[in-house]
Amino acid sequence: MGWQPLSDPLDRTRFPVEPWSLREVSPSLADLGRTETLFAVGNGYLGMRANPEEGRVAYEHGTYINGFHETFRIRHAEDAYGFATVGQTMVNVPDTKVIRLYVDDEPLLLAVADLPHYERVLDFRSGQLVRRLTWRTPSGILAQIRSSRMVSLSERHLAVMTYEVVLDRDAPLTLASLTINRQDGEDEYHVSGPDAGDPSWDPRKTEVFHSRVLEPALAVRDPLTGRLELGYRCTNSAMTVALAVDERLETDSGFSRTDSLETDLAETRFTVQAKAGQPVKLVKMVAYHTSRGVPPAELASRCALTLDRADRSGLDQLELEQRDCLDQFWQRSDVVVHGQGAIQQAVRWNLFQVIQAAARAEGAGIPAKGVTGSGYSGHHFWDAEIYLLPFLTYTTPRWSRSALRFRYTMLDAARRRARELSETGALFPWRTINGEEASAFYAAGTAQYHIDADVAYALNQYLRATGDTDFLEREGIDILVETARMWNGLGFMRLDGGGGPAEFHIHGVTGPDEYTTVVNDNLFTNVMARFNLRAAADALRGIELTNPEAYSKAVARLDLSPDEPARWLESAGAMHIPYDSSLGINPQDDQFLEKEIWDLASTPPSQRPLLLHYHPLVIYRFQVLKQADVVLAQFLCAHDFTSDEKLADFDYYDPLTTRDSSLSAVAQGIMASEVGYQELGQKYFREALYVDLADVHGNASDGVHTASAGGVWSALVFGFGGLRDSDGQIRFDPRLPELWDGLTFRLTVSGARLRVDLRQEELTLTLEAGTQADVFVRGEPVHLSGSEPTVVALAGQGPRLIGAPTARDITGARRSDGSVITASVPPAVGDLTDGATGSDTG
Amino acid sequence: MGWQPLSDPLDRTRFPVEPWSLREVSPSLADLGRTETLFAVGNGYLGMRANPEEGRVAYEHGTYINGFHETFRIRHAEDAYGFATVGQTMVNVPDTKVIRLYVDDEPLLLAVADLPHYERVLDFRSGQLVRRLTWRTPSGILAQIRSSRMVSLSERHLAVMTYEVVLDRDAPLTLASLTINRQDGEDEYHVSGPDAGDPSWDPRKTEVFHSRVLEPALAVRDPLTGRLELGYRCTNSAMTVALAVDERLETDSGFSRTDSLETDLAETRFTVQAKAGQPVKLVKMVAYHTSRGVPPAELASRCALTLDRADRSGLDQLELEQRDCLDQFWQRSDVVVHGQGAIQQAVRWNLFQVIQAAARAEGAGIPAKGVTGSGYSGHHFWDAEIYLLPFLTYTTPRWSRSALRFRYTMLDAARRRARELSETGALFPWRTINGEEASAFYAAGTAQYHIDADVAYALNQYLRATGDTDFLEREGIDILVETARMWNGLGFMRLDGGGGPAEFHIHGVTGPDEYTTVVNDNLFTNVMARFNLRAAADALRGIELTNPEAYSKAVARLDLSPDEPARWLESAGAMHIPYDSSLGINPQDDQFLEKEIWDLASTPPSQRPLLLHYHPLVIYRFQVLKQADVVLAQFLCAHDFTSDEKLADFDYYDPLTTRDSSLSAVAQGIMASEVGYQELGQKYFREALYVDLADVHGNASDGVHTASAGGVWSALVFGFGGLRDSDGQIRFDPRLPELWDGLTFRLTVSGARLRVDLRQEELTLTLEAGTQADVFVRGEPVHLSGSEPTVVALAGQGPRLIGAPTARDITGARRSDGSVITASVPPAVGDLTDGATGSDTG
């Protein structure tokens, strides 16, 4: 679980550099969990981890459907009013991935098999996971095996698998295709190697149920076609799922088929008299449908529709459609890092994760792990709005709208939650699947009121980039107004002691940095709340001017009183923004600078991440950050701060930041590049880029860090491309790394698609679609029309500072034992022998 | 669960005023839980709630043994490093209270019986609960019944019960004596009236086990004597308990006896041919022994020893010993409120609760509910040190030493806990039975570091009052040193921005006021930590000067480095004490004054106590107090503050204080009297006095508020008697209420017993025991020797201010809607209709 150094992020003898795929050329049991995640396939609705077809040993045999969850009563060890009561957790839906091969009745077991050849490839253009093996069976037969697995982007509910075997001599061959309810049934072997970690305690892991989750509601097999239909209902949430499975064997060899069906296990067994050189190919098509309460039988008939259509299309056509979806995706979304093969591959892997997480989410939102793992219980967080949606907004805006509509559908729940917290308006939950707050730890959960502003920010960015007034007027405005109301009620006006004007304060909140909780005037929160208050007032004013009818409807729908927007603007204008003139920096909150400084340089790697080695009270007591939220605020609200402020704040916070949050590297890297620490910016970019590929946080096993994957695009486009849009304009101030030949990316703005080619000496802008666009390059307006490239010369790539900022002392302050407080590290945990004798080392 | 007004604290037609007892003259099902508590009997080791002998309907059939507990794994809904892991809860040991009466085979059921006469009396001098009934049976027989119940003060492990019946005509009569394991067995009817409340949610209630707690280990009955012996072992904690029961029938009528014995139920049934006018009397003697692991059979033999000795003594002798113990107690401890019969009765009830909680605790500590109920799971809190121990220290110091030794025995656990919290020294747990932290909510639990100083304070007070150098040198010094080390490591030196000297700050702690948590420089904590640091250094210096050998041993035992005490004194001298010069008050913490003020006057009673109606984050955000800890600090460390400061602070905090804590009224009342709000002081005194008798907090059902009961003595002696001892001297500055004729109390100091008779015009001091004492009265030294009274004339009873302080505005501050922020009340909870439409009323 410790920190991994980044010197060699991927073992290239096992994962060679390739531009359009991730390829593994030798199997390993040592990092099963990570590779299950890295090679997972999904479409944002349905996801399958990369468990080998043969099943058996695994970190987690996972198949997930976005939004399909079980609920449970949250039992607080010590309860209090308003604590979240209903837990939610993603369910592991029945596993259809299993296809077992027996030759001469000997099973193929990857862990022990003699495999002269092995490779599996996740192809970012075909959208398939393909595996090619040569297996020397115990009896000496050579079996050539090719298997493929695809979750369809064109058919939301469909997954297609194939398993093809060719033997080098005649032999009896059996293919057993299984469907297993692993959520409740007996599961297979789980890995217990170092990759599995200690499952007994990690607060980031998921809930475990001790009673049955999926109640069987339907289990039939069509006697004619052999089609399997299974249906279940979740015990508590009453959500329903059905799946249907078609299994078809293609071979010229003779074979027989037997089917079996039990509650949690269905099997179709093809027994083949395989002839040497004759392919034996199993095609398995699977459909999943889910609902909040539609009877499983009805869902099963929807599955049948899906499978019937898939049968009509056929395998080849489905694979073509898949490739076509991806071609279009890459046309809109690809980022080319010229001359950097390894980085290029990693960039595309990350962007591919975003389409796998978002493409067909369609109203279910985008969970922290997409559909690739059970980490964070399948919950939705603010990460989606801040780290993932910028990419979607600027490349596939309809996916962004879909994710934002997910928040709209949760608005009533957010209104109820605001009332529970004694506030007006709406308060979005810190973590949720169904809209109800599921965070059981308020200090680092419910107290993160900033989530309201994060939603408003992403919504505003989407509206600016698309001009989607329809969404604004009918739904978006409700989000903006209700979140603004929450802020205006949460904060209050107070005179400071110094005779200045009254300021608007927001107390008792936690910012994105979870190593400091429940503080007054968290800078990130206040800056974002100010943005939120203004965005709501501006949007209302805009609707009033352009669409009086929509405005009237909104006023009535929201019971808007005429003076509300003016009050929001007054609060926003009076917003207290912490500033310390002696240090020349923006304190993270009003008390932050009064704390001791944690000496990170002296904290050994064995004590990282801090959250797993120190009581929260210890961490909260120090100046030490999980992520630097002041720096994040200065990225998001770039135009609220001067360059000098950004540099001073970066200098101050960077040495205090553990980056124990996987979200940290993206914003920290973008701002490092902006203020001039360009090498540091690249270092942080690599940290984000390889967060899963190199398992930087030691928990890639639990699923893809989807927000970080989306953040890779932000790091490229905002960080190196120098894009800023916080004033509603598209502005570039590039920071191309010295060793890169160039960077090419696309932006879709108001329907036009702009290609940006960044080189060391120039920036070339080309309209790939649409008729015109207006941007700024280093403050100079550039008007684009037609398809001819516009070349803007660049005088360098911004300021360049050497190295990285280091911790500074607070002059003269010292502990009672005489030591300077900057070196105040808590004693090592577990050092009982020394401590128990009472030696006071301060 | 709401607040009860105090206009009529007790129904005097049901509970008549009497000086030496609490008498109930009519039964009621409406407040079963409260009367079970009010009439409970105990000796600090063993406690029995006042369930009627006949059993049946009850709020809680409780029998408790101090320190006898079961453990369980605390499951946190969201875990983090260092959170408490082992929960502890007091076990309901097998119930021997049940004696059922049948006449003509008709059972006496109190709830429906025809009772021409009913009374039960808890006698503060006999130490018995006695009940006298006349029952008109369904067949018209008149049965005179007298039952008694006594937990012996002289025999720690013994309880004695009698049940005597006289009929007015011959009839068959049965007495069934039962022993029931209610912890695991099927329980009887429980009350479901308003008194029971909603058991589903109150964070102050106890844990519930879902599996067997008491594993049977022994169940035998002596065939000759009929003596019952039962033994059990707790499933998780492995603690053991055994009990033995002797049942003897005394009557001239003929009778037969039958015994039965099952796992969780033993019964002895006496079937009597009762003659008119002939008494039938059952004497039931019970012994309980417990251990951390001694086999139950061994404990059973100890029970046999206890019962054999009791048999030899006989009932009369045991009752004499009980009365003798109490006579001595009252000689040392009685407080006479002259001319106030109702108050006198309530005072004695409270003081009687203290002997019932403390007399034979002997190393087990004194839990929050003593042995009278399962509230707070039988846990030990800081309340004991601050509210209970002063009474014990000044009247029965050996009980105080016993309670302090309980902390000493937990010192190693406290050392481990400090290490878990990354601190040096020792950190006593917020709540515990066995020494391990059991608080599952760190913000209002573990963060209350002040508990270390509270223990040191009580220890120091004890040492000053007794001069017990033996305890100091061998054990007490270890507590003082280890707590001082904790403080010196927790805090740190920091220069303020204004050019002043460096100050010692303590961050991230919660003071006694749980409506404000995890703050920097909580005044109470800093003041008490300063005290703790100095007390440790002073004590070490004292030992060094008076007993070099003991000093050397302590240095070696504690691995004390020579410069440690100097560092403690340096930290203490530099301690930051929050002060706001513009308001002229001591802020509760460094951020307190920056918060909005909660308008308590506009908060309806239905929303009280706040903790049951508002999310902690809402409460924490406002200036609103559960108890005023600045005021408490100014009581405890009286000499650290000027009179002006105390008045200003009282004026500021009193209107902000909800007194939702039962501990609030005592300190608030004492300081109200001191600063001059004498009527308010009396109001708060009444609130403390009747906290259980009038069920002020709605949870008297769960057991006696032991600390509040002890606090009544503090309110009398410190509050009205004007005692202060924080500089090590006994100082009086009386505040006798205008309507009281006088107040008499005793203080035991250095072995001498001083009687203090306070009248409006004079204070009379008399040595009842010992040869001399030195005190101060209003600053003038008074030397006492011999038995002659010393009379000191008093010019009045201190300052008298009218009314009570009221909330003040913070001038000019206002919310964005124009309202003044002093009137900033969160919207009513549950007001969804209004809120959901989005009306922003600020």
pLDDT digits (tens, 9 = 90+) for B736-751: 999 999 999 999 999 9
Predicted confidence band at A186 (pLDDT cuts at 50, 70, 90)?
A: low
Contact B595 A839 (CB under 8 A): no
Q: Please tell me the distance in Å from A842's CA to the nearest CA on chain B.
A: 5
Number of H-type helices and E-type strands within chain A: 20, 32
**A479 interaction partners in chain B (CB closer than 8 Å):** none
Indicate if the pLDDT at residue B391 is higher than 60.
yes
| Residue A179 · residue A243 · CB < 8 Å | yes
Task: Return the exposure string of A265-283: e unless at least 16 CB atoms fall within 10 Å of the residue's CB, then b.
Answer: bbbbbbbbebbeeebbbbb
| CB distance B66 to B365 below 8 Å | yes
For residue range B235-257, list pLDDT tens digits in order: 999 999 999 999 999 999 999 99
Q: Which of B1, B72, B81, B602 to mutate against chain A (most A CBs within 10 Å)?
A: B81
Report d(CA A669, CA A665) in Å as an integer. Answer: 6
Q: Report whether pLDDT(B794) > 70.
A: yes
Q: Is 80 exceeded by the pLDDT of residue A575? A: yes
pLDDT-derived band of residue B77, with 50, 70 and 90 as boundaries?
confident
How many H helices and E strands in chain B?
20, 32
Question: Where does the pLDDT of residue B826 fall: very low under 50, low under 70, confident under 90, or very high at 90 and above?
Answer: very low
- Please tell me the predicted confidence (pLDDT) of residue A155: 98
Closest-CA residue of chain A to B491: A815
Mean pLDDT of A682-697: 94
Q: Locate the chain A residue with the closest alpha carbon to B84.
A: A77
- B440 touches A: beta carbon within 8 Å: yes
Asked if pLDDT for residue A26 goes beyond 60, the answer is yes
B484, closest residue in chain A (CA to CA):
A840
Give the 3-state secondary structure of residue B471.
helix
Nearest to A485 among B77, B832, B840 (CB): B840
Residue-level pLDDT at B497: 63
CB of B823 within 8 Å of any CB in chain A? Answer: no
**Up-side HSE of residue A44: CA atoms within 13 Å toward CB?**
22
Which of B421, B624, B816 has the highest number of chain A CBs within 10 A, making it the mutation to test binding with A? Answer: B816
In the annotation, is B514 catalytic?
yes
CA B243, CA A494: separation in Å to the nearest integer?
Answer: 65
Q: How far is CA B334 from the centre of its chain?
A: 18
Predicted confidence (pLDDT) per residue in A212-230, tens digit: 999 999 999 999 999 999 9
For the segment B50-79, the average pLDDT, to the nearest whole number, is 92
- Dump pLDDT digits (tens) for B276-318: 999 999 999 999 999 999 999 999 999 999 999 999 999 999 9
Active-site annotation of A, residues: 514
How close B597 gets to chain A, by Cα (Å)? Answer: 11
Per-residue model confidence (pLDDT) at position A497: 63
Residue predicted with more confidence, B510 or A208: B510
**B629-636 and B643-653 helices cross at what angle (nearest 10)?**
160
Whose CA is closest to A57, among A27, A12, A102, A90?
A27
Chain B closest CA to A38's CA: distance in Å? 27
Tokens of B485: 């080390």
Put simply, the answer to whether A80 touches B439 (Cβ < 8 Å) is: no
- pLDDT surpasses 60 at B274: yes
**Model confidence over B337-386: pLDDT tens digits?**
999 999 999 999 999 999 999 999 998 899 999 999 999 999 999 999 99
Within 13 A of A256's CA, how many CA atoms are on the CB side? 2
Which amino acid is located at B643 in the chain?
S
Q: Is there a contact between A570 and B840 (Cβ–Cβ < 8 Å)?
A: no
Q: Cβ B79–A203 below 8 Å, yes or no? A: yes
Tokens (6 digits) for A75: 């039992």
Give percent of chain B with pLDDT exceeding 70: 91
User: pTM for the complete prediction?
Assistant: 0.91
Residues of B whose CB is below 8 A from A485: 838, 840
Rg, Å, chain A Cα set? 28
ipTM above 0.85, yes or no: yes
Residue with the bigger pLDDT between A659 and B100: it is B100
Would the CB atoms of A831 and B78 count as touching at under 8 Å? Answer: no
A127-135: average pLDDT: 98
pLDDT at residue B186 in the model: 56
Contacts 24+ apart (CB under 8 A), A733-737: A733/A674, A733/A777, A733/A778, A733/A779, A733/A798, A734/A758, A734/A763, A734/A794, A734/A797, A734/A798, A735/A673, A735/A674, A735/A678, A735/A681, A735/A797, A735/A798, A736/A760, A736/A797, A737/A678, A737/A681, A737/A682
Tell me the mean pLDDT in the region B205-232. 86
Strands (E), A715-760: 723-724, 731-732, 742-749, 752-759
Query: With bands split at pLDDT 50, 70 and 90, how would you rate the model's confidence at B663?
Result: confident
Express each pLDDT in A349-383 by its tens digit.
Answer: 999 999 999 999 998 899 999 999 999 999 999 99
DSSP calls for A340-406: -HHHHHHHHHHHHHHHHHHTTTTTS---TTTTS--GGGG-B-THIIIIIHHHHHHH-HHHHHHHHHH
Residue B420 forms contact with A (CB below 8 Å): yes
Give me the mean pLDDT over the B698-722 stretch: 96
Contact A810 B494 (CB under 8 A): yes
Return the pLDDT at A600: 86
- B259-271: burial string, b at 16+ Cβ within 10 Å, e else: eeeeebbbbbbbb
Residue in the structure block whose two tokens are 């459609």: A321
- In the stretch 477-516 of chain B, residues with CB closer than 8 A to chain A read 481-482, 485, 488-489, 491-495, 497, 502, 504-505, 507-508
B102 touches chain A (CB under 8 A): no
B78/A441 Cβ within 8 A = yes
Higher pLDDT, residue A270 or A184: A270
Q: How close A817 comes to chain B (CA, Å)?
A: 7
Tokens encoding A132: 């090619």
Which of A439-448, A688-697, B490-499 is predicted least confidently? B490-499
3-state SS string for B58-124: ECCCCEEECCCEEEEECCCCCCCCCCCCEEEEECCCCECCCEEEEECCEECCCCCCEEEEEEEEEEC
Peptide bond into A609 cis (omega under 30): yes
Reference B705, options B356, B296, B416, B410; nearest CA is: B356
Task: Give the dihedral of Cα atoms A333, A338, A341, A346; nearest 10 deg.
Answer: -30
DSSP A290: E
| pLDDT recorded at residue A659 | 87
> pLDDT confidence of B204, banded at 50, 70, 90?
very low
CA–CA gap between residue A184 and residue A127 (Å, rounded): 30
Contacts of A832 in chain B (CB under 8 A): 416, 419
Q: Which residue has the higher pLDDT, B806 or B595?
A: B595
Residue pointed to by tokens 């050497």? A802
Q: How confident is residue B599, by pLDDT bands cut at 50, 70 and 90?
A: confident
| Strand-pair category, B240-251 with B492-494 | unpaired
**Is the CB of A660 inside 8 Å of chain B's CB atoms?**
no
Q: Does B786 touch chain A (CB under 8 A)?
A: no
- What's the gap in Å between the CA of B602 and the closest CA on chain A? 15
CA distance A600 to chain B (A): 15
Q: How far B146 CA sits from the closest chain A CA (Å)?
A: 44
| Amino acid A818: pLDDT | 42
What pLDDT sits at residue B803?
A: 87
Mean pLDDT over each residue of chain B, to the nearest integer: 91
Q: Does B198 touch chain A (CB under 8 A)?
A: no
| pLDDT for the residue numbered A588 | 98
Average pLDDT over residues A782-811: 86
pLDDT at A67 exceeding the cut of 60: yes
**B67 Rama sector, left if φ>0, alpha if ψ -120 to 50, beta otherwise:** left
Pairing of strands B780-785, B772-777: antiparallel
Q: Cβ of B208 under 8 Å from any chain A Cβ? A: no
Question: In this model, does residue B815 exceed pLDDT 60?
Answer: no
Interface check for B618 against chain A (CB to CB < 8 A): the answer is: yes
Query: What percent of chain B has a predicted confidence (pLDDT) above 90?
Result: 84
Mark which residues 33-92 of B lie under 8 Å from A by CB: 74-84, 87
Residue A820 has pLDDT above 80, yes or no: no
**In the prediction, which pLDDT does A184 show?**
87
